[in-house]
């Protein structure tokens, strides 16, 4: 199920140097990987300039030195979170006005060195721009052939559905994917997962919506909690400090032992084979970590193992 794995390129070109980034990208393609996820704002917080674009630019350089590879990969990028003024995010985030969307896609295509992307995301809700304007701006990109599909990330369910209603009513292309934080463990009710936008976490409401809208795909970011499942130097965030986590980890360890794998692989297999199925986005810093992720989405869990994982609480 390598086609269910998305390579997250967020830190390529900043934290991750070019040599290592190219090495990971090459291995991903050699393994049969297809989807690469980035954003126009990646990674403004890690670059001295205070602005993003480094990830897209690195991907553009990689594509330029790999003839034919562009036809083998699909690129996913986003608009909405690039700061207009350095050091002032989120208050100066570019937003999703028609002008911002047009400017952003032009910049993304230029940095990527391509004439289209397969999936374009609204990175987070814009509290100022009317949904009608954003929906129309995104539809224009599809009509122009520079964007294939459309998605929204970190949106509340009501706004996802409202945007889709507007698109249907106006005969425009609407969102067919959501990108949210999703993993096996569940945070303590009433807490906000660390480093997640306000509406960025997958909830039961999100899952229920997706179950009843099979045309919508689910992409899952930070599925492995930045190493929290397996690395002693990466403790789980405090919102997971509750008895439910202990029970879920116990079952996770049982399944890992039965399959001869580890927690990370089981989590990725659980996500990729779930209902609704999720496409985990993995941000890796080594080829070894990438190989581990590929093995995870390729792991087949039995119906009984999945039932035990689902029922742990």
pLDDT digits (tens, 9 = 90+) for 243-260: 999 999 999 999 999 999
Average pLDDT over residues 73-97: 97
Indicate the pLDDT class of residue 191, thresholds 50, 70 and 90: confident
Residue 16 DSSP SS3: strand
Other C-beta atoms closer than 10 Å to the C-beta of 67 total 8
pLDDT of residue 254: 97
Percent of the chain predicted with pLDDT > 90: 94
Contact 37, 76 (CB under 8 A): yes
Instruction: Name all contacts of 99-103 with Cβ < 8 Å and 24+ positions apart.
Output: 100/129, 101/134, 101/137, 101/138, 101/141, 102/137, 102/140
Assigned token pair, 128: 């100022």
Question: What's the pTM?
Answer: 0.96
For all residues of the chain together, what is the average pLDDT? 96
pLDDT of residue 190: 84
User: CA 202 to CA 196: how far, in whole Å?
Assistant: 10
pLDDT of residue 194: 76
Domains annotated for the chain, with CATH where assigned, are 2-240+265-301 (3.20.20.100)
Closest CA to 206 of 216, 221, 192: 216
Indicate the pLDDT class of residue 3, thresholds 50, 70 and 90: confident
Assigned token pair, 5: 């794995």
- The H-assigned helical ranges of 41-97 are 54-64
Rounded to 10 degrees, what is the CA torsion of 10, 15, 19, 22? -10
User: CA 19 to CA 42: how far, in whole Å?
Assistant: 18
Burial zone of 288 (CB within 10 Å; 0-12 exposed, 13-18 middle, 19+ buried): exposed
Contact 163, 152 (CB under 8 A): yes
pLDDT digits (tens, 9 = 90+) for 93-126: 999 999 999 999 999 999 999 999 999 999 999 9
Indicate the pLDDT class of residue 304, thresholds 50, 70 and 90: very high
pLDDT of residue 1: 72
Average pLDDT over residues 146-160: 98
């Amino acid at each position: 199920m390598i086609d269910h794995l998305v390579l997250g390129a967020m830190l390529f070109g900043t934290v991750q140097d070019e040599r290592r980034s190219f090495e990971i990208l090459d291995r991903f393609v050699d393994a049969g990987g297809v989807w690469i996820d980035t954003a126009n704002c990646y990674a403004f917080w890690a670059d001295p300039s205070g602005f993003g674009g480094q990830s897209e630019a690195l991907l553009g350089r990689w594509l330029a030195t790999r003839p034919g590879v562009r036809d083998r990969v699909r690129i996913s990028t986003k608009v909405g979170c690039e700061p207009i003024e350095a050091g002032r995010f989120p208050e100066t985030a570019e937003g999703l006005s028609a002008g911002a969307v047009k400017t952003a896609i032009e910049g993304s295509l230029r940095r990527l060195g391509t004439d289209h992307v397969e999936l374009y995301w609204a990175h987070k809700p814009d509290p100022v721009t009317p949904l009608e304007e954003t929906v129309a701006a995104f539809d224009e990109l599809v009509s122009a052939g520079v964007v294939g599909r459309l998605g929204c990330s970190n949106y509340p369910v009501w706004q996802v559905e409202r945007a889709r209603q507007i698109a249907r009513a106006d005969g425009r292309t609407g969102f067919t994917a959501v990108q949210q934080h999703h993993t096996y463990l569940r945070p303590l009710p009433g807490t906000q997962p660390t480093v997640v936008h306000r509406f960025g976490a997958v909830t039961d409401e999100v899952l229920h919506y997706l179950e009843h809208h099979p045309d919508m795909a689910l992409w899952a970011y930070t599925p492995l909690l930045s190493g929290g499942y397996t690395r002693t130097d990466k403790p789980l965030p405090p919102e997971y400090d509750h008895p439910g986590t202990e029970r879920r980890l116990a079952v996770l360890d049982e399944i890992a032992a039965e399959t001869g794998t580890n927690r990370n692989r089981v989590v990725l297999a659980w996500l990729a084979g779930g209902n609704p199925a999720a496409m985990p986005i993995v941000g890796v810093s080594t080829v070894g970590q990438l190989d581990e992720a590929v093995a995870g989405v390729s792991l087949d869990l039995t119906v009984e193992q999945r039932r035990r994982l689902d029922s742990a609480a």
